Structure 1
Amino acid sequence: MVESELLDNKSYGSIENDHPDVLPVPPVDREQRKLHRGLSTRQVQMIAIAGTIGTGLFLGTGSSLAKGGPASMLICYTIIGFIVYVTLLLLGEMATQYPIAGSFGTYCVRFFSPSYGFALAWNYWFNDAVSVASDLVAAQLVMSYWSDWHPWAIGLIFWFFLVGINAIHVKAYGELEYWLASLKVIAIVVFIIIGILVNVGVNSQHRYLGGENWRLPGAPFVGGFGGFARVFVTASFAYGGTESLGITAGETKNPSKNMPRVVKAVFWRILIFYILSVLLIGLNVPYTYPDLSSKSSVTSPFTIVFKEVGSAGAASFMNTVVFTSVISAGNHALFAGTRVLYGLSAIHQAPRLFSWTTRNGIPLPSLLATSSISILCFGSSYIGNGQLWTWLQNLVGVSNQIAWLSIGLASWRFRKAWVRQGHSPNDLKFRAAWTWPWAPLFVVIIVACLILIQGWSSIFPEFVVVDFISYYIEIPVMIVMYTAWMLIKRPGLNNSSQTSPTKTRFWYSDLVDVNTVDLSKDQYHDEESDHIEDETRTRRMTKGNLGRRILWRLYYVAA
């Protein structure tokens, strides 16, 4: 454990009300409304990896391969990877400047529109809650490799486990995620090595595979344009979680320095892991492999590749890693959903109860509300684990895309306000210079197109009602929630300095006024512990003998 982790934890209060149309919350015990900054740099980096390298990669790639083929899978995962990387840079700018609870939902309220931010945050909270259910269903699917013993019991056991971990302390969550994520990273590195060996001839057939699975009938693009479009939503499900990196900003030590480090370092690692893994899966596993994705089961391509080595023990080991990854992903989703609901309460868009915390800084009511949604997983025995997981995967994937689009909207208004009020982009604590000025609109336009076209296969050649709903239900839900908040609060009737109300005969707009929005509020000011951490890091990498300095540099790169 590094020295900075031994420092006393700092706390921060909830966000103040930026909008006078929202009634203030009555005073409560301030000690009961604080999260603790207990997550270190190494934990935050691994949390970002743990939230993305999980169910989507280990199981979702099987569904992508079966429905779209190896070429569609490789192209779609590469495109989504680039989009998410740009989105993460935009989020990093805001999260470094304003490391607060709620992350991009709060940024949308503050810089874009309170009504849209309300709809987005509640939608994303539901996304996280459904993700927990999805991961518990995935745990049942993975366990079926060894035994069919009472799938509902497996889901129940791990539901209690995840709730218990998240109810202790943020450090308990962070430490569990760190070690589970480390196991996943090691497993993927081993998989890449094994995958190369299997392809060149170290397999059960003792023959060179090369690109023969790309030349199977129907490959490499399975299902034509419809199959290609369907892979986008599974890829979005797989990459989902990077955006929740901003949620950890509220509980990260020294966020002014640690958030830029995490943003710049983590995604390149994820991108390399994903692209190499997806390429090797497409080369080594035929899209026709039995039970790759069916109504009753989903087989991990990672387990299949390890099985091809000819060792049942190796396949069982990989399946164990997949299982722990699923639990890790559920743990991450539960944490993120809890903090989103806490953030909603902090800006008075959820009941005050959800901003109450224990003395250890755990928003317990938010945790219990989020975890309760995972009861969805217990319906899996009636409709088939594989089928339910596919539907949940679609719901979560589209919700992830809406989150990315919303980060683009919030960044666009934030950057505009920053410049309009006389600030230089160079004054930002973290600035992704090469993304100015095109990135926010690029993210908004390209993600909006993905949301609209990816459900093509549910319409042509045959209209499938349930699939269509799983692809598009998020859109009307967002519209209804946006409209409801707008009508209830009627911000256009108030003289707010933060919004620019536009009154028409039928409608009121609460688009935030970039000329007057407060850009100084909630900025983080470095504390003494932050300076100590920076000095410690600098001393370790610049002083002492050469071997010691090299070891510390390697440690900070790896951790």
Structure 2
Amino acid sequence: MATEMEKKVQDEKAPDHTVGPDVEHGQHHQQASLARNLQGRHMQMIAIGGSIGAGLFVGSGSSLQSGGPASLIIGFIIVGCMLLCTVQALGELAVLYPINGAFYQYGVRFIDPAWGFAMGWQYAIGWLVTLPFEITAAGITIDYWHHYNIGIWIAVFLTTLIIVQFFGVRGYGEVEFILGIIKILAVLGFIIFGIVVDCGGVSSDDRGYIGFRYWNDAEHGNKAFRNGFKGFCSVFVNAAFAFGGTEMVGLAAAEAADPRKSLPKATKQVFWRIAGFYVVSLLIMGLIVPNSSPDLLNSTGANTKASPFVLAIQYAGVKGLPSVFNAVITISVMSVANSCTYGSTRTMQALAQGGMAPQFLAWIDKKGRPVWPVIIQMVFGLLAFINEAATGPTVFNWLLALTGLSSFFVWGSICLSHIRFRAGWKAAGRTLDDLPFKSQVGVYGSWVGLSLACICLVATFYISLFPIGGSPNAEAFFESYIAAPIVIALFVFWKLWTRNWTFGVKTSEMDLDTGRRDFDEIPQSQAAERRGSLRKLSRAIF
């Protein structure tokens, strides 16, 4: 069986996802393909606001308290730069190969099949276990107004997600579009509000002009950098969690109506999202919220009462507005839960179609929905009811440990895939002019992104081994770093399963053609369009 699987992996590194997995065995059994219903506006909103959620609105508070406002901003900028390089690399690959499975397939094709297998399953598992957490978080936000049995709200939100799945990818796109607009307006509103508060323009706030007071207020324990180098390192995991999901725009390429047009626009907007919605809002928040506040100690999960954004409004003495922002956090958490469902189901379906998961997961119904992965994801959502048990929080901490380093591994793999792809492209005698879209930061940007991913992994290892205010603890370490040995275990498992002991795909053997969409016509049409524009311009002038 291992021999057959090895042959399958070698022969199907990039299968055609418009047909069923039995085609290669001579059984031309047509299967429905994923629906290409995502429009340009959907792709742009997925890229801009798709992952703005509890990581930004709540989790940033623990980073502010442990690292200080300066560490918070620098850490988010570093992770943001890594993400910018990653999304540019992903954009180049996804426009050329808008295939199901996206970056998992790129890992199989350009790095190593075992590494692609490990990345694909680690990514799918990460979203599987994140969904019950997000549903729970949404339920907790309701506690801000009134204490209800959280099980009721878990049932309500899970039912809502199930209803969205009936509408397929179009439902996912529309929900993200609407909720994304709300989140973006909320962040812009907070930035304006925060500037007014910092300048002393709110009559109910007796602090007056604040400026950078909390960056240098040793008397009250407020510092720009808290807990030294350890405090700085503590920011990275929270930043990765806050940015997590941006890579979803590459996963959605397989269901985009026109990825050649919509993907480049979406990837180019990532810079503005990082600069405007994350860095600026966190800078303002760090100015008006004292980083020594004891209220920040519980700013994890969806404890909106400890959200630094809600606290900023409360400290300013503005009535009613904290409830409005709490509602925004509830919407944001549900948006991320919606993304969880999309990310896990499409990855599992792609793994099955690539021969790296049970074949029943590959089935797609006539409306382009991967039915069995959706069912599995919804079953995992039922884990949210663990909160009814006394040991619920402990179970959740270990489940979330599986996702702790997911973003760093995935982003680093995307950058490495791009580096390897460029090497194979050059070895095949092809030029960059043949690419429909080129990364604006080039292959050097991918090297920067890969290096930053490795640095963040080392920094996280350090803070996991030597936690702030404590001594080395095995349980705390594995709770923070267990994702790393799981990735290694998945890699080794696939090597043992296929009995393929080589590592790396040779550049001369890379499959550069399977899965391309209208590749040959793209450069010619763009050149013709440019020539036509020049002719019109010359006529207008002369």
Partner of 1:515: 508
The answer to whether 1:451 aligns with 2:460 is: no
Match of 1:258 in 2: 262
Matches within 5 A, 1:159-238: 159-203=158-202, 204-206=204-206, 207-216=208-217, 217=221, 219-238=223-242
Counterparts in 2 of 1:262 and 1:408: CA distance versus 1, 3 Å: same
Deviation at 1:476, TM superposition (A): 0.9
Q: Is the 8 A contact 1:293 1:386 kept in 2?
A: no
The answer to whether the Cα contact below 8 Å between 1:292 and 1:300 also exists between their aligned partners in 2 is: yes
Q: Which residue of 2 aligns with 1:379?
A: 386
Per-residue Cα deviation, 1:94-141 (whole angstroms, up to 9, x for no partner):
001000111101100111111110011000001111221231232133
CA distance in 2, matches of 1:214, 1:163: 46
**CA gap 1:61/1:383 in 2 versus in 1, 3 angstroms:** farther
The answer for the alignment partner of 1:78 in structure 2 is 77
After TM superposition, the structure 1 = structure 2 runs for residues 80-479 of structure 1, keeping only pairs within 5 Å, are 80-203=79-202, 204-206=204-206, 207-216=208-217, 217=221, 219-294=223-298, 297=303, 299-380=306-387, 382=389, 395-436=402-443, 438-460=444-466, 461-479=470-488
Matched residue SS, 1:170: helix
Distance 1:92 1:105 in 2: 14
SS in 2 for 1:53: coil
- Is the alpha carbon distance of 1:21 and 1:328 closer, same or farther for their aligned partners in structure 2, counting shifts above 3 Å? closer
Q: CA RMSD in A?
A: 2.9
Amino acid at match of 2:476: D
Question: For the Cα contact (< 8 Å) 1:306–1:315, is it kept in 2?
Answer: yes
The CA deviation string for residues 179-223 of structure 1, in whole angstroms up to 9 with x for no partner, is 000001111111100011111113433311111222242522222
For the residues of structure 1 that align with 2:184 and 2:117, how far apart are their CA atoms?
36
Closer, same or farther in 2 for the Cα pair 1:392/1:82, shift >3 Å? Answer: farther
Alpha-carbon distance, 1:66 to partner: 1.9
| One-letter code aligned to 2:385 | F
Shift of 1:288: 3.0
Per the alignment, in what secondary structure is the counterpart of residue 378 of structure 1?
A: helix
User: In structure 2, which of residues 8, 16, 22 is the aligned counterpart of residue 26 of structure 1?
Assistant: 22
Distance 1:382 1:210 in 2: 46
- In 1, Cα distance between the equivalents of 2:98 and 2:482? 31
AA partner of residue 512 (structure 1): V
Residue 499 (structure 1) aligns with: none
Aligned equivalents of 2:181, 2:396: Cα separation in 1: 26
- Local SS of the residue matching 2:35: strand
- State the match for 1:537 in structure 2: none
Q: Which amino acid in 1 is paired with 2:510?
A: V
Three-state SS of the structure 1 residue aligned to 2:10 is coil
Alpha-carbon distance change, 40 to 323 in structure 1, aligned in 2, over 3 angstroms: same
Query: Compared with structure 1, are the counterparts of its residues 53 and 389 closer, same or farther at alpha carbon in structure 2 (3 Å cutoff)?
Result: farther
Q: What CA distance in whole angstroms lies between the structure 1 residues aligned with 2:225 and 2:316?
A: 27
Question: How far does residue 433 in structure 1 lie from its aligned partner after superposition?
Answer: 4.7
CA contact (8 A) 2:85 2:441 kept: no
SS at match of 1:52: coil
Aligned residues: 500
Separation in 1, partners of 2:80, 2:66 = 19
Q: Tell me the CA shift for residue 48 of structure 1.
A: 2.1
Deviations 1:382-428 (A, max 9, x none): 56888877766664341011101111221111111000100001211
The equivalent residue for 2:528 is none
Decide whether the 8 Å contact of 1:380 with 1:388 is kept in 2. Answer: no
What is the CA-CA distance between 1:359 and the residue it aligns to? 1.4
Distance across 1 between alignment mates of 2:496 and 2:519: 40
The offset of 1:464, in angstroms, is: 3.3
CA contact (8 A) 1:285 1:305 kept: yes
| Deviation per residue, 1:28-66 (Å, 9 max, x gap) | 896643101000000111122333211211111112112
Contact 2:205 2:317 in 1 (8 A): no
1:524 positional shift: 0.6
CA distance in 2, matches of 1:391, 1:360: 36
Task: Check the 8 A contact 2:168/2:367 in 1, yes or no.
Answer: yes
Unmatched 5+ stretches in structure 1 = 1-15, 492-507, 529-559
Alpha-carbon distance in 2 for matches of 1:108, 1:242? 18
3-state SS of paired residue (1:193) = helix
How many Å separate the matches in 1 of 2:344 and 2:261?
A: 25
Task: Name the structure 2 match of 1:11.
Answer: none
Aligned residue number for residue 537 of structure 2: none
**2:496 aligned to 487, 490, 497, which one?**
487
- % of aligned pairs identical? 33
SS in 2 for 1:102: coil
In structure 2, runs of 5+ residues without a counterpart are 1-6, 522-542
Deviation at 1:303, TM superposition (A): 1.6
Aligned partners of 1:163, 1:365: CA distance in 2, in Å? 13
Give secondary structure in 1 for the equivalent of 2:269. helix
Partners of 1:192 and 1:145 lie apart in 2 by: 23
Larger displacement relative to structure 2 (358-367 or 141-150): 141-150
Instruction: Give the letter for the 1:59 counterpart.
Output: V
Indicate the larger mover: 285-294 or 55-64: 285-294
CA separation in 2, counterparts of 1:132 and 1:29?
36
CA, structure 1 residues 331+301, in 2 after alignment: closer, same or farther (shift >3 Å)? Answer: same
CA contact (8 A) 2:108 2:116 kept: yes
- The answer as to whether partners of 2:404 and 2:483 remain within 8 angstroms in 1 is no
CA distance in 1, matches of 2:189, 2:399: 29
Q: Secondary structure of 2:508's partner?
A: coil
Say if 2:310 and 2:322, in contact at 8 Å, map to a contact too: yes
Cα distance, 1:525 vs structure 2: 1.7
TM-score, normalization: structure 1? 0.83
Which sits farther off after the overlay, 440-449 or 469-478? 440-449
Q: Contact 1:202 / 1:309 at 8 angstroms: preserved in 2?
A: no
- Work out whether residues 230 and 455 of structure 1, in 8 Å CA contact, stay in contact via their aligned partners in 2: no
Q: Which moved more, 1:93-102 or 1:349-358?
A: 349-358
Shift of 1:450: 1.1
Give the secondary-structure state (helix, strand or coil) at the position aligned to 1:152.
helix
Query: Contact (CA 8 Å) 2:39, 2:256: kept in 1 or not?
Result: yes
Q: d(CA) in 2 for partners of 1:388 and 1:279?
A: 34
What is the TM-score normalised by the length of structure 2?
0.86
Q: What letter matches 1:458 in structure 2?
A: S
Provide the secondary structure at the position in 2 that maps to 1:319. Answer: helix
Change in CA separation of 1:278 and 1:21 when aligned onto 2, cut-off 3 Å: closer
Conserved in 1, the CA contact under 8 Å of 2:34 and 2:369?
yes
Structure 1 residue 516: Cα displacement:
2.2
